[in-house]
């Protein structure tokens, strides 16, 4: 049976060929992801759906678009202070955003998280 060609380890500066398809050599294996014990609890299920419906009933327009004088319907439930940055999953920390604003805000949050993990 044919197998894929070996590729260099994806760890910066390592050129060891990897044949198992994992992308990393034995020296640079990645740890399996596990949820951190200090991670905040998320609202889920029916309670989440009820909170989401209440949010859009109370604030039907995108909060960020309104700041710029634009009127667009909110379609996404967003945490004002992200959970990854210490925010809580409570109604007072949520806002309604349109898909475009939510995507832009989420991208900025991901970039900040990457910078934190790299020590920038």
pLDDT, greater one: 30 or 63: 63
At 38, list the tokens.
């200090």
Domain range enclosing 52: 48-118
pLDDT digits (tens, 9 = 90+) for 66-106: 999 999 999 999 999 999 898 999 999 999 999 999 999 99
Residue 59 lies in a domain: yes
CA distances from 44 to 33, 53, 116 (A): 21, 13, 27
Residue 14 lies in a domain: no
pLDDT surpassing 70 at residue 10: yes
- Which of 62, 82, 84 shows the shortest CA–CA distance to 72? 62
pLDDT digits (tens, 9 = 90+) for 18-48: 988 888 999 999 888 888 888 888 899 999 9
At 24, list the tokens.
């990393």
Residue 32 lies in a domain: no
Helix, coil or strand: residue 51: helix
Residue 105 lies in a domain: yes
* Neighbouring residues of 60: CB distance < 8 A, sequence distance ≥ 6: 73, 74, 96
Radius of gyration of the CA atoms of the chain, in A: 21
Residue 29 lies in a domain: no
Domain total in the chain: 1
Residue 100 lies in a domain: yes
Residue 24 lies in a domain: no
Residue 16 lies in a domain: no
C-alpha span between 39 and 46 (Å, rounded): 21
């Amino acid at each position: 049976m044919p197998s894929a060609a070996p590729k260099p380890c994806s760890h910066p500066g390592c050129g060891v060929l990897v044949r198992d398809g994992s992308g990393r050599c034995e020296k640079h294996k990645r740890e399996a992801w596990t949820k951190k014990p200090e991670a905040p609890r998320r609202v889920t299920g029916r309670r989440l759906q009820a909170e989401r419906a209440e949010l859009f009933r109370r604030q039907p327009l995108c909060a960020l678009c309104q700041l710029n004088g634009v009127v667009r319907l909110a379609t996404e439930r967003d945490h004002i202070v992200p959970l990854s940055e210490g925010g809580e999953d409570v109604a007072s920390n949520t806002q309604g955003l349109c898909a475009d604003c939510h995507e832009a805000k989420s991208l900025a949050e991901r970039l900040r998280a990457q910078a934190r993990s790299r020590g920038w």
